[in-house]
Structure 1
Amino acid sequence: MTYEHMREVTLGLRPLSRLASPREVVRQFTPNWFAATMGTGILAIALAQFETSVPALHGVAEGLWMFNIGLFALFSCLYAARWIFFFDGARRIFGHSVVSMFFGCIPMGLATIVNGFLIFGLSRFGPVAVDIAWTLWWIDVALAAVCGVAIPFLMFTRQTHAIDQMTAVWLLPVVAAEVVAVSGGLLAPHLADGHAQLVMLTLSYVLWALSVPVAMSILVVLLLRMALHNLPHANMAASSWLALGPIGTGALGLMTLGGAAPAILAANGLERFGAFADGLGLFGGLLLWGYGLWWFALALIVTLRYLRDGLPFNIGWWGYTFPIGVYAVATLKLGTMLPIGAIYGFGTLLVAALGLLWLIVGARTVGGAWRGDLFVAPCLKSE
C-alpha cells in the first residue's frame, strides 16, 4: 500500500475530512438534502400499507416515520443556519437554474410527516395528532403554493435555461402542490366540522389542479428535449425517474380525494356529486397509473444504460426513491379498489425494490456525509 493510499484511507476515517472546515457543512447545505426526507417518508408510508398482512412492518414503518421527523428537523436547522450565517451565499440559489428547483423538496418532505401523523400518530398520540397534522398541513399548503408559483417566475425572469440543458428537475417545484393535496384527502375525513372538511377537500382538488396539468405540460417539453438532445449527463441520471412522481401522485390524489368525497359532500348537501367524485377517482387514477407504466419502463431502460457507462453517486440519487415510492403506493391503492391481484402484487414488488434502494442510497449518503463529499452547493462555484 502506497503512502498516498494510506493517507487517503486515514482521511476517509475522519469526519468531514474532505471539507476545509466543519462550517462548510452549513455554508454548502442546499434543499437537495430534503429529498432524503421524501424518500424516507414515502418508504414509511408504503410499508404501512401492509399493516394487516404483515403486522411487523408497521413497527418498522413507524420507526422510519419518527426518524424522518428528526431528519427533517435537522435539515431545517442546517438550512436556516445557512441563511443566518451565510446569507449572501444562500440567496444565490434563486439565480441557479437547477438547485432552486429543489425548494419543492421541502413541502413534499413535510407532507410525508403530515401523513404519518394520521397513519401512526392517531394510535400513539390520540386526537391531538389530527390537530398537529392540521396545523402542519396549512403550513405545507403555503410552502407548496409559493414554490409552485415563485420558482417558475424566477425561471422566467432571473435564471438562464436552455432546452438542451432541461431535465425533469423542473417538475419539483410544481409537484409539491399535488403531494399536499393527497395529504388533504387523508386529513379531511378526520376533521370534526363538516364545513371544514368541505373546505379542505375543495382546496385539495384546487391544489391538485395547480400541479398536475402544469407537470403534464413539462413532461411534453421533456419528451421533446430527450428526442432532440439525448440523455442528460450521468450526474443527473436520477432525474429520469422524476417524471413518475407527478403521475403517481396525481393518480393517488384522485383516488384518495375520490374516496373521501362522497361522505363529505353528502354532509354538506352535495350528495348528488359524490358518485361522480368516487368514479373520477378510480378511472382517473387508473388512466394516470397506466400512463405511469410507460414512464416507468422508459426510466428503467435509461437507468440500465447509465449503469453500463458508469453512474457516479451524488445526493441526487434520492431522486430514485420518492417517485418509485409514490407510484408504489398508488399501485397498492388501485389494487385495493380493483379485484385484480396482479396490480397489488406489482405494488408489493415496487415497495420491496424501494426498501432495497433506500438501504443502498442511505448507506452511501451516510458515507458521503461523513467524509463531507456531499456538501456541495453548485450556486457557490463562482467563488
Structure 2
Amino acid sequence: MSTTRKTFKTCIRHFTWSWHTVVMGTGAVAGLVSRFHFGQGSEAIKILTLLFFFLNLFFFVAITAATIARYYMFPKLWQAMLQHPTQSLFIGAFPMGAATLINTALAINQNYDFSGTKFLYALWAFWWLDCSVSLFTAVGMIFVMMTKHQHSLNQMSALWLLPVVTLIVASSTGGLLATALAHHPTCASLTTAVSFNLLIMGLSLALMIITVYLMRLVVHGPLDTSVIFSSFIILGPLGQGGFSMLINAQNIGRIPLPPPFSPAVIQTVCLCAAWTLWSIALVWLCIALCSVGSVVREQRIPFTIAYWGTIFPNGVFALLTVELGEVLESPTLHYLGAIFSGELRFIFGAF
C-alpha cells in the first residue's frame, strides 16, 4: 500500500498544542531523576539529570517553534483552535512544560553549582513569567469553555483539568525557587506567599472538576477509546498539589506571620493535606487502570500522542511519593517511590 508523504507545510498546519505534553513528560522524568532518593550525589544521577534536561530543552525549543510557525503561517487557525473543545485545553501544557525546565535547571544550579546566583535570579524571572502565563491560561480557558464551547456531562473528560493544573505546577516551582532563595528572605517569603496562593486557586478548581468527572464516570461509564488515557490526568493535580504542599511548607518559616499562626502547625497541616492527596491519587490510579483495562478488553487502543499524556501525571504522583518518603523518613515510601519511578522510566523508554 502506497503512502503519500506529507509536506512540511502540511505537518505544521496539523501541529497541535498536545505535542507540548512531550515536554511535560520528559520534564517529569528529569525531575524524578534529580530528586531520586537512592544514589543522590552520584555521577550517574548527575549525568542522567543533564541528559534529560538537554533533551527536554531540545523538545521545548522545537515544539514551541513549530507552534509559533503554525499560527504565523495559518493565523485563522487560532480562532478555530480556541473553539475546539479538546485541542484548546492543551494550551495549558505549554506553561507546565516550561515549568519543568525551570525545575531541572534549578536542580542543576543548586546541586552542581552551575552558573551561580545570576542564573538563579534569571530562573526566578522566568518563573514570574510562567506564573503570569499560567494564570492567564487558567482563567482565560475557563472563560473560553463558558462562552465558546458546547459541553454535556457525557462528553466531559479529565482534559478539563489541563488549564487549571498550570497554577499548581507553577506553585511547586515557586516552592523550589523559594528554597534556593533562602539567602534573600524578602524574595523567598514573597515567592512562598505567591506559590501558596497559586496552589489554593489551582487545587480548589481541580477538586471541583474531579468531583464532576467522578459523576460523569458513574452516570455514563468509562471514556471513549480516543481519550481513555486522559483518565490518568487526575493524578496530575493531586500529585503535584501534594508535592507543592510539602515544598512550600518547608519555606513557611521565612514568612513573617502574626502571633496566632505557628509555622510548625502550618507545616503539620500541609503534611496531612499532602498525605490525603496522595491517598486520593492512589484510588484514582486504580480507577484509571480499571477504566483502561475495561476498554482494552473490548477493543485495541491505537498508539497516539495521547500516550505521552500518561507520563506527567504518573511522574508527579511518583514525585509526591518520593518527597513523602523524605519528609517522613519512611523506608517503605522510599521503595514505593523507587518502584513508581522505575515504572515511569520503563514507560518513557518504551516510547
Structure 1 length normalisation: TM-score? 0.86
Q: Highest Rg: 1 or 2? A: 1
Distance 1:276 1:107 in 2: 32
Task: Show the 5 A alignment for 1:285-364.
Answer: 285-308=274-297, 309-361=299-351
What CA deviation, in whole Å up to 9, does each residue of 1:7-32 have, x standing for no partner?
A: 4xxx5xxxxx542x211121111110
Q: 1:230 to 1:114 in 2, by over 3 A?
A: same
Distance 2:81 2:214 in 1: 27
Q: 1:352 to 1:88 in 2, by over 3 A?
A: same
Contact (CA 8 Å) 1:50, 1:58: kept in 2 or not?
no
Distance 1:315 1:269 in 2: 46
- Matched residue, 2:212: 221
What CA deviation, in whole Å up to 9, does each residue of 1:157-205 have, x standing for no partner?
A: 1111111111000000001001000000000132343222211111101
- Matched residue, 2:178: 188
What CA deviation, in whole Å up to 9, does each residue of 1:27-85 have, x standing for no partner?
A: 11111011000000010110112375262133112210111112111111111111211
The letter of the residue matching 1:213 is: S
- Matched residue, 1:44: 30
Query: What is the aligned counterpart of 2:74 among 86, 110, 125?
Result: 86
- Matched residue, 1:172: 162
- Matched residue, 2:114: 124
Distance 1:52 1:342 in 2: 13
What CA deviation, in whole Å up to 9, does each residue of 1:132-181 have, x standing for no partner?
A: 21111011101110111010101111111111111000000001001000
Contact (CA 8 Å) 1:108, 1:176: kept in 2 or not?
yes
Distance 1:306 1:43 in 2: 27
Task: Show the 5 A alignment for 1:48-87.
Answer: 48-50=34-36, 53=39, 55=42, 56-87=44-75
1:303 is displaced (CA, Å) by: 2.2
Distance 1:82 1:311 in 2: 29
Task: Check if 1:274 corresponds to 2:263.
Answer: yes
Contact (CA 8 Å) 1:201, 1:257: kept in 2 or not?
yes
- Matched residue, 1:207: 198
- Matched residue, 2:225: 234
State the secondary structure of the residue aligned to 1:127.
Answer: helix
- C-alpha RMSD over aligned residues: 1.6
1:269 is displaced (CA, Å) by: 6.1
Distance 1:61 1:302 in 2: 33
Contact (CA 8 Å) 1:43, 1:61: kept in 2 or not?
no
State the secondary structure of the residue aligned to 1:87.
Answer: coil
- Percent of counterpart pairs with the same letter? 27
Q: 1:205 to 1:24 in 2, by over 3 A?
A: same
Distance 1:18 1:355 in 2: 33
**Corresponding pairs, count:** 344
Q: 1:25 to 1:171 in 2, by over 3 A?
A: same
Task: Check if 1:105 corresponds to 2:93.
Answer: yes
Contact (CA 8 Å) 1:325, 1:354: kept in 2 or not?
yes
Query: What is the aligned counterpart of 1:197 among 170, 188, 192?
Result: 188
Distance 2:184 2:223 in 1: 49
Query: What is the aligned counterpart of 1:134 among 124, 130, 153?
Result: 124
Q: Which runs of 5+ in 1 are unaligned?
A: 12-16, 362-383
Contact (CA 8 Å) 2:34, 2:104: kept in 1 or not?
no
What CA deviation, in whole Å up to 9, does each residue of 1:291-329 have, x standing for no partner?
A: 111001111222222333211111111111000000000
Task: Check if 1:255 corresponds to 2:241.
Answer: no
Structure 2 length normalisation: TM-score? 0.94
Contact (CA 8 Å) 2:172, 2:248: kept in 1 or not?
yes
Distance 1:270 1:126 in 2: 34
Contact (CA 8 Å) 2:39, 2:45: kept in 1 or not?
no
Contact (CA 8 Å) 2:49, 2:104: kept in 1 or not?
no
1:270 is displaced (CA, Å) by: 5.4
Distance 1:38 1:202 in 2: 25
The letter of the residue matching 2:164 is: V
What CA deviation, in whole Å up to 9, does each residue of 1:76-114 have, x standing for no partner?
A: 111111121100023311111111110110111011011
Contact (CA 8 Å) 1:254, 1:280: kept in 2 or not?
no
Distance 1:52 1:315 in 2: 31
